[in-house]
Structure 1
């Protein structure tokens, strides 16, 4: 028998014992039943349900270099031919555009958008490159392409590319774009105006980060803002650990930073001295090209004026008081018809324009000033340029007169004429120049710095941080290391509109010193005033700061050329306080305070000159006698921009 015959026989035998062949059954329907071992991880859940009154889209928008940026688009159902309102943020577009899990657009989006969504606006927020859900590399306040940035990519090019895509790819839009945002988003709004896309028709930069050394987030006139370290860490950590906090526990920030030593010692203690942006701060304490080359007002000065711009800032902005007025100053001369650039100063904290504006600290205002501004001025501005609405005749300058509590529309800024309020003998303040020589001394001890608010201090506590610039100054008025000069009660209003200018003649027994100057509105002590005057009951004798600023003495002869002070030598220190519109009412008093620390908001000056204060040693911190002069030739004063009524 052959092999083939054997194989066939075996096959036949196997078939003989096989089960009968049945018809192929139809496949069973997939089971929907769950078991105890059914995996309990659900891939995703769409919070926007079919009955929502809005549409939400998430797009990865491509940039010219191939990087894709996470972009959230939200608009009310039924929107057609709607303008686009864009914000570009480092603060997580995903969470920003989902304020709550609601099916109502006004509960989902921030309150600032309420007037817009009912009127067909398409709200767009985009993560800037390298952070949160966007691709690419994040650089804090990425410099404009040029000497400090050779990549050819910056926030201007990214804004251009984003606007190009949005204006062409949202079927519900009319292709016109406005840009808006506060703080870092104010910075990105300004950058969008440099080489702007043709579809960008209007911009409202609010409290923009403009010059982080002169007067915005990181330094003020050379004095370092210590809470910048926690912000730098939170922004610099990778996506896996985004928003990391310094693990220094809870308690009084005053003690925490004092016990650490220098600010550099604090950074090294917590291992954040190698965080790239912390290194940038610590290695560049002076105003070299590292900082001046990144100053946005200089970029805006060099750029043609192409986009109608409304610059907004809060009068008591505790983070970015410098930027908006600085940009207005360089943009306004290009506005030949006085209709392209406007400045708004409201009675708000940082970014307060986008929240509720009824009050700030102990102050109350005539209704919700922020909402009033958004509805009466900001939305008509956008409507005109994005929807073709009639020209609202936006005032060149809009400011809220605190004290009197009303809005002022003005043709220019500043409006007031600088008039000196002199310090005088016996700790008086008056508009009369000193006729005799004199000076007042105090001892500044770095081991006992003056706190910027009453202790215990937590700069992470928003209830302390947001209103600190309006805190009653009586908590330091009697300290021996704070000089207080007070006028007699006013018999008529004093109205100021502009930036008060400090003109301080001072000497120190040390080789470096900080100078802190405040202008204060002292309320009558006889009786509390009502809300009609912008205060709450119980404000008798209240010392309301109208402006507070600091100057690091080593920069008296140039911000880029620090040098030791000569002990005992009188130097003239000139610097501006924040821009304000304020009315000192009859019966109130004017007050000037002078001190040499504002801790722990600003790092301690050791009062011994060292090359880099971040690296000061314990032995460098020494008490010094500070002298404030009031003579005919060295007449210390705060020059108030007074408006004649």
Structure 2
């Protein structure tokens, strides 16, 4: 062996021994890392898929005109002979049925629907025609077939055709269908009651859009809810699958709305004039034939009562506080056996009956989970009785009513009842009481309403995140404003319990030729409140609303107001069920703007406020009267116990 070859061999052996020595000092995990020759990330990872506890089907259901509607069916596994709940929505059926991507059906949906899925129901969600996955054309709150709709199809026919298909094509079902939904979805529930399909056995309209002019989404007694209407029209009609979000130009909506001026100009700034419904709103500022023909309560009043219906009303519903009660009252005379037309009124914001526990709104506590109570003890028994093959009769009252203040449920035969009212009078010196005021040298209180500085409806900055709970927000920021007049009682020595719609009889004068009037009925908590110290002095609005003065004589034929003359303005505040407890005080606030929730009244009569010009907006001197024949008062509907009531 040559010396050179031996050197090579010895060098190789030395390297080998050295490598072995190093290897002995490297932990096994590091050895793997050092010797790995490729990425540890798989080229195509295949995750394990846990088993769902439900079956999901997506189908396109044909309507009578050939249009097909996208429908999602959620069926808990193992169900047979099961009833179906149908929710027809413009808000995306996929979104309604795919909340968390969970393997459990009840986790996909809002809480109330989860309760039904857990109790043997099939859930069906459908995009209304023209929205998301459905074919056809979208029309906001599509009118029923008739003078305003010559197409031959509407939400009533679409509900009928859908129910017909479901009753024949879902083998896990018993063929019985109930309709249920909140807001616009509640509106589609009301439409299913028009010439209903025989398989429709129950309906639950929750906080439904019923009359957009009288007191639901678009107007309240003629005052235009412009900011919400603009954003909603953009979201609904800006695109088939949800409209564009308008870029925020101001942190405070109050600032942007004030700078825009009229509703028409703000609409142009946001581009919403490109949508059809917004232009309808601009064309119909009064309660004309167009609005009256679409009022659902009037339509249902002309229909026979064929389907057991559970109306669900929110006493602090910030969007549709008018319609549910109006529709319930319209149908109630047809319920001769008091076993078809049911009402639940709870302490809820919009959708609060099935979205959360219902134990509070903002800072206001209700001592119990009111939404859970509704779902388990009223909704489920009602649906079981009418939809399940062998459902037991529902042991529920015709009316189930939550009374805030005392925070108790009451079970009644009807509501509101014909009971004596009690006049609550404004008094000189900013007082408030049940005795008619004596003649006084101070016959009125006066303030300046300036459209350049309108009263905000919530504290500034006005942001959308306060919207859901705003009706229950503290009213103290407004009670000391110079453009708000406030009247307050002495501390109560006994409870004052109201149940129904307070009726405003406001005697007022304006130096202008048009004016808005806002009246708030408020529960003032004691300065120190031992049950919840942070609520000391809180001013809780129990019922409040606005009235546009030009409609004092006629809702459909606006007229200029005679300036500087005391005139009576009469309207109903939203329904209330509340006890003002001893130690609390009752307050009334009166003002002439509520911005930017409602558009500003220019306080100069113009044919259409939607198109008011900058020079039309003028300051006005407002007078609120409280003496003699011009004594302002609120008729309070006093509650009385009914036979058989349970507490």
**Which TM-score applies when normalising by structure 1?**
0.90
Once the two structures are overlaid, the 10-residue window that deviates more, 383-392 or 481-490, is 383-392
Provide the residue aligned with 1:491 in structure 2. Answer: 493
> How far 1:468 sits from its partner (Å)?
0.4
1:497-516 CA-partner distances (Å, limit 9, x unpaired): 10111111111000000000
| Contact residue 107 and residue 114 of structure 2 kept, 8 A | no
| Contact residue 75 and residue 120 of structure 1 kept, 8 A | no
2:399 aligned with 1:403: no
C-alpha separation between the residues in 2 aligned to 1:65 and 1:435?
68
Provide the residue aligned with 1:282 in structure 2. Answer: 282
Structure 1 unmatched runs, 5+:
1-39, 531-535
> How far 1:366 sits from its partner (Å)?
2.4
Provide the residue aligned with 2:541 in structure 1. Answer: 545
1:475-506 CA-partner distances (Å, limit 9, x unpaired): 01000110100011111111111011111111
Q: Among 511, 514, 519, which residue is 1:512 paired with?
A: 514
| Contact residue 501 and residue 575 of structure 2 kept, 8 A | yes
2:595 aligned with 1:599: yes
Which aligned pairs between 1:405-554 and structure 2 lie closer than 5 A? 405-415=407-417, 416-437=419-440, 438-458=443-463, 460-461=464-465, 464-525=466-527, 527-530=528-531, 536-554=532-550
C-alpha separation between the residues in 2 aligned to 1:354 and 1:288?
35
**Alpha carbons of 1:353 and 1:48: their partners in 2 closer, same or farther (altered >3 Å)?**
farther
> How far 1:269 sits from its partner (Å)?
2.3
C-alpha separation between the residues in 1 aligned to 2:250 and 2:160?
44
Provide the residue aligned with 1:228 in structure 2. Answer: 229
1:350-402 CA-partner distances (Å, limit 9, x unpaired): 11001221111111122211011110011000000001322123211111111
C-alpha separation between the residues in 1 aligned to 2:349 and 2:50?
39
Which aligned pairs between 1:51-66 and structure 2 lie closer than 5 A? 51-66=51-66
| Contact residue 546 and residue 580 of structure 1 kept, 8 A | yes
> How far 1:248 sits from its partner (Å)?
3.5
**Alpha carbons of 1:412 and 1:280: their partners in 2 closer, same or farther (altered >3 Å)?**
same
Provide the residue aligned with 2:244 in structure 1. Answer: 244
> How far 1:50 sits from its partner (Å)?
6.5
| Contact residue 511 and residue 563 of structure 2 kept, 8 A | yes
What is the aligned residue count? 594
Please list every run of at least 4 consecutive aligned residues from structure 1 whose deviation after the TM superposition is greater than 3 angstroms.
Answer: 47-50
2:622 aligned with 1:626: yes
SS at match of 2:508: strand
C-alpha separation between the residues in 1 aligned to 2:420 and 2:126?
43
| Contact residue 345 and residue 580 of structure 1 kept, 8 A | no
Provide the residue aligned with 2:605 in structure 1. Answer: 609
C-alpha separation between the residues in 1 aligned to 2:350 and 2:576?
14
> How far 1:137 sits from its partner (Å)?
0.4
Provide the residue aligned with 1:376 in structure 2. Answer: 377
2:142 aligned with 1:142: yes
**Alpha carbons of 1:528 and 1:48: their partners in 2 closer, same or farther (altered >3 Å)?**
farther
SS at match of 2:272: coil
Provide the residue aligned with 1:391 in structure 2. Answer: 393
Which aligned pairs between 1:189-200 and structure 2 lie closer than 5 A? 189-200=189-200
| Contact residue 234 and residue 245 of structure 1 kept, 8 A | yes
Once the two structures are overlaid, the 10-residue window that deviates more, 569-578 or 385-394, is 385-394
> How far 1:151 sits from its partner (Å)?
1.0
C-alpha separation between the residues in 1 aligned to 2:530 and 2:349?
22
> How far 1:48 sits from its partner (Å)?
12
Provide the residue aligned with 1:25 in structure 2. Answer: none
> How far 1:639 sits from its partner (Å)?
1.0
| Contact residue 106 and residue 118 of structure 2 kept, 8 A | no
| Contact residue 249 and residue 256 of structure 2 kept, 8 A | no
**Alpha carbons of 1:501 and 1:529: their partners in 2 closer, same or farther (altered >3 Å)?**
farther
Provide the residue aligned with 2:551 in structure 1. Answer: 555
> How far 1:49 sits from its partner (Å)?
5.1
C-alpha separation between the residues in 2 aligned to 1:88 and 1:283?
28
SS at match of 1:293: helix
C-alpha separation between the residues in 2 aligned to 1:150 and 1:265?
32
2:642 aligned with 1:641: no
Provide the residue aligned with 1:18 in structure 2. Answer: none
Once the two structures are overlaid, the 10-residue window that deviates more, 262-271 or 73-82, is 262-271
